[in-house]
A and B are shown apart, each in its own frame.
Chain A
Amino acid sequence: GAVVSQHPSRVICKSGTSVKIECRSLDFQATTMFWYRQFPKQSLMLMATSNEGSKATYEQGVEKDKFLINHASLTLSTLTVTSAHPEDSSFYICSAQTGGDHPYQPQHFGDGTRLSIL
Chain B
Amino acid sequence: AQKITQTQPGMFVQEKEAVTLDCTYDTSDQSYGLFWYKQPSSGEMIFLIYQGSYDEQNATEGRYSLNFQKARKSANLVISASQLGDSAMYFCAMREGGGGGFKTIFGAGTRLFVKA
Known: A102-B102, A103-B102, A104-B33. A43 touches B44 (CB 8 A): no
Q: How many residues in A have their beta carbons less than 8 Å from beta carbons of B? A: 24
Q: Mark B34-64, 1 if CB is under 8 A from A, else 0.
A: 0101000011110100101100000000000
- What's the least CB distance linking A77 to chain B, in Å? 15
- Name the interface residues of A86-114: CB closer than 8 Å to any CB of B: 91, 93, 95, 101-112, 114
Question: Once the chains bind, are A43 and B43 in contact (CB under 8 Å)?
Answer: no
Question: Once the chains bind, are B106 and A103 in contact (CB under 8 Å)?
Answer: no
Question: Once the chains bind, are A34 and B52 in contact (CB under 8 Å)?
Answer: no
Chain B residues whose C-beta falls within 8 Å of the C-beta of A42 in the assembled complex: 108-109
Q: Which residues of B contact A (CB under 8 A)?
A: 29, 31-33, 35, 37, 42-45, 47, 50, 52-53, 91, 95-96, 98, 101-109
Is A68 part of the contact surface with B, judged by Cβ < 8 Å?
no
Question: Once the chains bind, are B43 and A106 in contact (CB under 8 Å)?
Answer: no
Residue from B43, B45, B105 with most neighbouring chain A CB atoms (10 Å): B45
Question: Once the chains bind, are A49 and B108 in contact (CB under 8 Å)?
Answer: no
Question: Once the chains bind, are B106 and A44 in contact (CB under 8 Å)?
Answer: yes
- What's the least CB distance linking A2 to chain B, in Å? 9
